[in-house]
Chain A
């Protein structure tokens, strides 16, 4: 019941936003903000329908998705590996820590010159920038999550005779997973910002490139089609990350009262390792 109302509210909010846009643009409202040049919702919708029926749109979409999936996957693997190494090994922390801390504040998009110098093609450069953008949030949240692990889990495995590798695979990675997923959620968002910006600067094809092209030829409805496409793709990919996350952390204790109707829209799992709160039913032991 509450799930259905929640859905109604969500739909109403989108409809209201589109309605406001349409009203402001079709009446050419010109107060301090100027809407007279702004395309209307119907113009954008018409342009959208037009684009979707052509091949170029799908080509751009596939290019952007390929770039982001490649860059993000690389960032996920590297971020988890480096974050774990830095959190677990003093030597890794000493060797990598200073370099990472200096590189971290540099916005990935400022690496465009570096990418152009380093890589033989634009394609690899864009993937590099996307990967760098997602790497830091994943690395930092992995590092925090690994450091925050409950020590008894590791001690338990050690006293069962488990070695370093066993501790890594049976305790560290699964235990840090809720925190890592938080980093992945942030990372996929940052990846989109950077893939689009990089395409605008140096891309050939791709949603960002197309959006910028439309702007240079003063095709404003086209620009808005690009923006809507980016929004939808971003929403789709972060939902995919979120769903994957929820699937992998089904062991986390969750409140029973939470509505199950729209699980994908919920906030990411908390970064802290689970400290299960327990319904301590008084129990009698048969022995």
Chain B
């Protein structure tokens, strides 16, 4: 990933305990997320994947330890760190275009430019002709593409994705993964991608972080689905799967 558009954020957790007060789910986590990388986070359900993401987004303060962005402590949500949710985080009363324009409006971008940039992003995710529709008029997969466009339209330095394709069928999912790689190529943003699907993690991630332990493993490249048969990837896949079964 070459950072020509934005310079990705460096996100770090040091000895962090995460969760709600009185109910920590992750304890003593150390994680260094390199600018511009795609870090796939996998782990069994309930292990704290979403908690980790919400903490990085600034929606949930750490109970102990440090959570940093570029060396500064994360104190709350910020437009620099965009969050993509699993489903239906689009505002249902706004059209597709108007949803994508929202982060730009919040940043104070003028009406004409806002509209042009929203149209541009909708074209990139293949939804230009659906711009004037309401979210419930398009399919689940299309809505996730709109969420992606909305997250990226304002040029965030980090994109935090919480099982964004979790509710989609297998075929749509594969298409979305490829789209994500294409869209992110050259954006420079740091991406944290939470999933429970090992193959998705291996396809998307530059590295894979395993929760609840926090071990990080590099993923062999090039990024191709065919590569899933090469010995290094097969070995990694086995290792990840073993870490997921207690």
Residues in A lying within 8 Å of B, measured CB to CB = 150, 152-153, 155-162, 166, 170-171, 174-175, 177, 249, 251-253, 274-287
Contacts and interface: CB of A to CB of B under 8 A. Distances in A.
Interface in B119-161: 126, 134-136, 139-143, 145, 154
B179 A287 contact: yes
B238 interface: no
A177 B92 CA distance: 12
7 contacts: A152-B85, A155-B57, A155-B85, A161-B80, A170-B91, A280-B140, A285-B178
A161 B171 contact: no
Contact of B78 (A161, A171, A285): A161
Interface string B69-95: 000000001111111010011011110
Given A158-B77, A161-B79, A285-B175, A278 B139 contact: yes
B169 interface: yes
A187 B48 CA distance: 46
Interface residues of B, number: 40
B172 A161 contact: no
B214 interface: no
A275 B136 CA distance: 9
A156 B89 contact: yes
B103 A161 contact: yes
A166 B106 contact: yes
B59 A174 contact: no
Given A282-B171, A283-B139, A174 B93 contact: yes
A280 B58 CA distance: 33
Contacts of A153: 89, 91
B107 interface: yes
A284 B175 contact: yes
Interface string B46-66: 000000000001110000000
| Those 5 A-B pairs whose CB atoms lie nearest each other, nearest first | A285-B175, A161-B79, A276-B136, A251-B93, A160-B103
Contacts of B89: 152-153, 155-156
Contact of A285 (B94, B107, B126): B126
A79 B214 CA distance: 50
Given A170-B102, A287-B179, 20 more contacts: A152-B85, A155-B59, A155-B83, A155-B85, A157-B106, A159-B58, A159-B78, A161-B79, A161-B103, A170-B91, A171-B91, A174-B93, A275-B88, A276-B88, A278-B140, A278-B143, A282-B169, A283-B141, A286-B175, A287-B126
B176 interface: yes
Nearest to B135: A276
Contacts of A156: 83, 85, 89, 91
Contacts of A177: 93
A271 to B, nearest CB: 15
Contacts of A283: 139, 141-142, 172
B182 interface: yes
Contacts of B171: 282, 284
A42 B104 CA distance: 65
Contact of A158 (B59, B91, B140, B154): B59
Contacts of B88: 150, 152, 275-276
Contacts of B92: 251-253, 274, 276
Contacts of B58: 159
Nearest to A277: B136
Contacts of A284: 171-172, 175
A278 B136 contact: yes
Given A174-B91, A274-B92, A276-B136, A159 B82 contact: yes
A161 B178 CA distance: 28
A123 to B, nearest CB: 39
Most buried by B among A171, A279, A283, A285: A285
A159 B172 contact: no
Contacts of A286: 126, 175
Contacts of A278: 136, 139-140, 143
A285 B179 contact: yes
Contacts of B135: 276
Given A274-B92, A280-B140, A281-B139, A157 B102 contact: yes
B221 to A, nearest CB: 19
